[in-house]
Chains A and B, each alone.
Chain A
């Protein structure tokens, strides 16, 4: 079975430009997460969805960040306008919680550099 698929894997953009990161979760998983990883702040949960509905976006750093999940197989994280401090690795992850505990399956990440 295919894992979580993210695109692009690498993105270099200029400050002020819009960035859109895409994610396809594992089929059948009903939770989707967006994480950000930096050297300074480690792994941060930005937002998560359940059945395509945003549940908790308290980790979204500011209004420049937005996330959508129009259907069960697709989600986007958008940054507009981008700033150099947004440079990080952004991970999408999905999960199907149950009696087996909440194992989270991560994608390979989108490496964003804002210059």
Chain B
């Protein structure tokens, strides 16, 4: 079984400042890792995912995340946030491999961008 921990429930940051949202996972097997974003009054949508290969993954809207196997982390970063990035961000993990694998979501981190 796998689990994912998002240590910060809320992260306030000023506009144009950098941000890092933390995600740590636990699994006894290889994993795929995801970040989803939920804008107010909307469903979750995929921001980026790591399956294999380069540990630095780039996603939409200027976000990127780095897979660190030794630290079992997959932190999300953006060098300069915008007001429109205000949303809740969910880290998720599945066992690696093809076919259906159960997705485990974190509890979410609310990013509040302050003008």
Binding site for B on A (CB under 8 A): 4, 31, 42-43, 50, 91, 93, 95, 97-109
* CB <8 Å contact, B44 and A106: yes
- Cα A110 to Cα B43 with chains together (Å): 10
Q: Total number of A-B contacts with CB less than 8 angstroms? A: 51
* CB <8 Å contact, A42 and B101: no
Also in contact, A101 and B90, with CB within 8 A (given A106-B44, A107-B43)? no
Also in contact, A106 and B49, with CB within 8 A (given A43-B90, A97-B98)? no
- Cα A2 to Cα B4 with chains together (Å): 31
B80 beta carbon closer than 8 Å to chain A: no
Which segment, of B13-21, B60-68, B69-77, B102-110, faces chain A? B102-110
Query: For chain B, what secondary structure do more than half of its interface residues adopt (helix, strand, loop), or is it mixed?
Result: loop
Total interface residues on B, using CB and 8 Å? 20
Cβ-defined partner of A100 (8 Å) among B44, B51, B108: B51
Distance to closest chain B CB from A72 (angstroms): 16
Distance to closest chain B CB from A22 (angstroms): 15
B84 beta carbon closer than 8 Å to chain A: no
Q: Which residue of B lies closest to A33 (CB)?
A: B103
Task: Return chain A residues, CB-CB under 8 Å to B45.
Answer: 105-106
Task: Return chain B residues, CB-CB under 8 Å to A4.
Answer: 43
B99 beta carbon closer than 8 Å to chain A: yes
Identify which of B45, B100, B105 gathers the most chain A CB atoms within 10 Å of its CB: B100
